[in-house]
């Protein structure tokens, strides 16, 4: 059997067309694989960057946590100290209020002793504004200078009365202390 030249040409064209299609498929596969490889390299780079910075972020977080723990310890200690100071101040304030509540009726009845009035003058001076409100007019003989010792330190106070907005108030002024 003999084939004609046309048949040979037709077989050759078909073969060339099949080869061209194979090359096109291979070219498309090469493009897709190249894109996937580039994406894989980019993803690997991002993952490496996250991996390499994760150590420093962890170290920074640990350092920050340690610093915050030290700060918490210091603040907790300060809080305990402030609570102790507040408790002492509350006890002192309660004592001062007790002295004032005990001595004011005696003072108004003119039965208070000088030592009680001196303690009251000191307690009034430690009040906000160095003043208390009185239920009535204080006696004139109370409005003078008193000496009082606190922990061995001498203080000198002057009691002054005044009427403000229809209420009598008793002021205690520090005249002299050990430093003077």
**How far is residue 136's CA from residue 31's CA, in Å, rounded to a whole number?**
104
Q: How confident is the model at residue 84, as a pLDDT?
A: 93
Rg (CA), the chain: 48
CA angle 55, 60, 65 (to 5 degrees): 125
* Contact between 157 and 172 (Cβ < 8 Å): yes
In the chain, what are the domain boundaries? 98-177
The pTM of the full predicted model, rounded to 2 decimals, is: 0.55
Q: Which residues pair with 173 in a beta bridge?
A: 158
Question: Residue 179: is its pLDDT beyond 60?
Answer: no
165: closest CA among 142, 133, 138, 143?
Answer: 133
Q: How confident is the model at residue 26, as a pLDDT?
A: 96
Question: Residue 27: is its pLDDT beyond 90?
Answer: yes
**How far is residue 23's CA from residue 4's CA, in Å, rounded to a whole number?**
29
Tens-digit pLDDT profile for residues 42-92: 999 999 998 888 888 889 999 999 999 999 999 999 999 999 999 988 888
CA angle 144, 170, 153 (to 5 degrees): 60
User: Does residue 41 or residue 6 have the better pLDDT?
Assistant: 41
Q: How confident is the model at residue 180, as a pLDDT?
A: 52
Tens-digit pLDDT profile for residues 104-152: 888 888 888 888 888 888 888 888 888 888 888 888 888 888 888 888 8
Here the tokens at position 33 are 């694989």
Question: Residue 33: is its pLDDT beyond 60?
Answer: yes
Question: Residue 159: is its pLDDT beyond 70?
Answer: yes
Kind plus residue range of the DSSP H or E element containing 120: helix 114-125
**How far is residue 36's CA from residue 134's CA, in Å, rounded to a whole number?**
92
Here the tokens at position 3 are 């084939």
């Amino acid at each position: 059997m003999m084939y004609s030249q046309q048949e040979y040409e037709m077989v050759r064209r078909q073969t060339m067309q099949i080869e061209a299609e194979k090359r096109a498929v291979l070219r498309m596969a090469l493009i897709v694989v190249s894109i996937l490889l580039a994406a894989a390299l980019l993803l690997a780079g991002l993952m490496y960057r996250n991996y390499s910075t994760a150590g420093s972020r962890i170290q920074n977080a640990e350092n920050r946590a340690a610093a915050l723990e030290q700060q918490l310890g210091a603040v907790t200690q300060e809080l305990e100290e402030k609570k102790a100071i507040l408790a002492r101040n509350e006890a002192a304030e309660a004592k001062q209020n007790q002295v004032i509540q005990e001595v004011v009726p005696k003072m108004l009845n003119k039965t208070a002793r000088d030592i009680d009035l001196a303690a009251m003058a000191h307690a009034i001076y430690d009040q906000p504004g160095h003043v208390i409100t009185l239920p009535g007019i204080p006696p004139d003989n109370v409005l003078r200078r008193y000496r009082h010792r606190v922990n061995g330190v001498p203080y000198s106070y002057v009691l002054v009365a005044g009427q403000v907005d229809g209420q009598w108030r008793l002021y205690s002024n520090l005249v002299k202390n050990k430093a003077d």
